[in-house]
C-alpha cells in the first residue's frame, strides 16, 4: 500500500505513466520533475522511476512515478504485472499526432491497467501530448472528450516541448488521488454518512487556464 502517513509527507501514491512508445511519456515526466526537455531521449527499456513531492490543499504528497516501456516487446515480459501491482493512478498518454496511439489507449492500455493494478478505486487521467504539433494533429478534441466522458476521466492536451499543461496534468492526478483517498477515509469512518467534500482548483479539477475537462467532477464555481 503506497498511501502512507509518514513524518515527511501525508500521502504517497504510486502512479504509472502508460501509453505507446514515442508518445512522450519520458519527456513529460522529465519536464515535470526536472524541467528539462531532450528530443533525443532514448526509448525506455523496462521501467524508470522518479519521486516528486508536491502540495495539495496543505497536504504533502509524494508521487512515485513509474515510466514504463511502451513497445510491445517490452510489454510481453514477466515483469509487467509487478509494474502495475499496487498502482493507484495512471496517466494514459497518447500523441495528438498519432491516431493509433489514441486508439491503443481505448483498446489496450486502459483495460490492462484496470485488470492488473488490482485496485477498484484507481484514478486515470487522459493526456494528449505533443499539442505543439498542431499541423500534424490526427485526434480531434471531440473524440478525446467523448472517450474521457465515457470513462469518467479527466483529460488534458499537453506539450513536453513547450511546457503546456505538463505541471497541470500531474497536479490533476495528485488532486484526484487525494480526493479518492479522502472519500475512502470518509466511507470508512463511523462519523461520516458519505464522501467528504474536497475542493479542486479550477472548474473541473483542472486549473482554469488549461485545455481540459474532468468528467464527473463537480464545478467549484
Kindly state the helix (H) or strand (E) to which residue 113 belongs, with its residue range: helix 110-116
Rounded CA-CA distance 169/32 in Å is 9
Write down the pLDDT at residue 38. 66
Q: Does 76 score more than 90 pLDDT? A: no
CATH of region 11-183, choose from 3.40.50.300, 3.40.50.720, 3.30.70.3270, 1.25.40.10: 3.40.50.300
Sign of CA dihedral 157, 90, 59, 184: positive
pLDDT tens digit string along 10-68?
A: 899 999 999 998 999 999 999 998 867 666 655 555 567 789 999 988 889 999 999 87
pLDDT tens digit string along 93-141?
A: 999 999 999 999 999 999 989 988 876 689 999 999 999 999 999 999 9
Q: Does 179 score more than 80 pLDDT? A: yes
- What rounded mean pLDDT belongs to the chain? 78
Q: Are 29 and 65 in contact (CB under 8 A)?
A: yes
- Please report, for the chain, the start and end positions of each structural domain, with discontinuous segments joined by +: 11-183
pTM (two decimals): 0.78
Residue 212 grid cell? 481540459
Amino acid at each position: 500500500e503506497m498511501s502512507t502517513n509518514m513524518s515527511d509527507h501525508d500521502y504517497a501514491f504510486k502512479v504509472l505513466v502508460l501509453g505507446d512508445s514515442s508518445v512522450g511519456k519520458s519527456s513529460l515526466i522529465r519536464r515535470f520533475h526536472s524541467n528539462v526537455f531532450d528530443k533525443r531521449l532514448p526509448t525506455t527499456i523496462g521501467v524508470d522511476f522518479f519521486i516528486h513531492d508536491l502540495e495539495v490543499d496543505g497536504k504533502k504528497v509524494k508521487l512515485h512515478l513509474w515510466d514504463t516501456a511502451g513497445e510491445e516487446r517490452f510489454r510481453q515480459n514477466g515483469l509487467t504485472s509487478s509494474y502495475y501491482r499496487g498502482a493507484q493512478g495512471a496517466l494514459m498518454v497518447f500523441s495528438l499526432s498519432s491516431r493509433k496511439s489514441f486508439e491503443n489507449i481505448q483498446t489496450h492500455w486502459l483495460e490492462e491497467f484496470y485488470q492488473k493494478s488490482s485496485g477498484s478505486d484507481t484514478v486515470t487521467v487522459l493526456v494528449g501530448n505533443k499539442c505543439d504539433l498542431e499541423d500534424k494533429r490526427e485526434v480531434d478534441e471531440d473524440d478525446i472528450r467523448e472517450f474521457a466522458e465515457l470513462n469518467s476521466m479527466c483529460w488534458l492536451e499537453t506539450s513536453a516541448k513547450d511546457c503546456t499543461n505538463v505541471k497541470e496534468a500531474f497536479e490533476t492526478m495528485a488532486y484526484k488521488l487525494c480526493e479518492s483517498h479522502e472519500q475512502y477515509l470518509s466511507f470508512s469512518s463511523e462519523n461520516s454518512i458519505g464522501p467528504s467534500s474536497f475542493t479542486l482548483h479550477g472548474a473541473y479539477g483542472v486549473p482554469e487556464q488549461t485545455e481540459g475537462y474532468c468528467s464527473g467532477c463537480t464545478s467549484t464555481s
